[in-house]
């Protein structure tokens, strides 16, 4: 016979797991769950956004940087090798904005300069879709 179809995808189950950890006020473990989610599903912009929120609530700039760095390669590969904000790439503006936010959490000057460039490009391309980075 036909096997039953699961109600949730593995990615959706990861989101629910991280949410349950947040509800239990276990933000550190939720951060780990979001980082793992982004390793497996680097295109998940909701996961990136939530990972950045949790990292900032923990005051963990390194976790924010790791989250942004992990997904930047995925989005860069879909945009011809750089995060140039192709209007044809769905989610590209938001992805670049979120990556910039994560990179800006680092004290490294080169990362901060990259973050600033990404934010400027995102706002120039789509001021309404840049994810509130201004």
For 15-64, how does the pLDDT look when each residue is reduced to its tens digit (9 = 90+)? 999 999 999 999 999 999 999 999 999 989 999 999 999 999 999 988 99
- The whole-angstrom separation of Cα 117 and Cα 40 is 27
- The whole-angstrom separation of Cα 54 and Cα 66 is 13
3-state SS class at 4: coil
* Of the candidates 94, 67, 64, the residue with the CA atom closest to the CA atom of residue 79: 94
pTM: 0.69
Maximum pairwise Cα distance, the chain = 59
CA distances from 93 to 3, 9, 14, 75, 123 (A): 39, 26, 24, 10, 8
pLDDT of residue 108 exceeding 60: no
DSSP string, 8-52: S-HHHHHHHHHHHHHHTT-HHHHHHHHHHHHHH-TT-HHHHHHHH
Mean pLDDT, residues 102-127 taken together = 60
């Amino acid at each position: 016979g036909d096997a039953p179809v699961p109600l949730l995808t593995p990615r959706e189950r990861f989101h629910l797991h991280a949410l349950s950890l947040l509800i239990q006020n276990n933000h550190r473990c939720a951060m780990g769950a979001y980082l793992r989610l982004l390793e497996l599903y680097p295109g998940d912009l909701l996961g990136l956004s939530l990972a950045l929120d949790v990292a900032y609530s923990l005051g963990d700039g390194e976790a924010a940087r790791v989250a942004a760095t992990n997904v930047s390669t995925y989005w860069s590969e879909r945009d011809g090798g750089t995060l140039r904000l192709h209007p044809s790439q769905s989610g590209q503006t938001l992805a670049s904005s979120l990556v910039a936010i994560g990179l800006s959490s680092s004290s490294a000057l080169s990362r901060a300069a990259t973050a600033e460039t990404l934010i400027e490009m995102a706002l120039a391309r789509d001021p309404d879709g840049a994810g509130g980075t201004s």
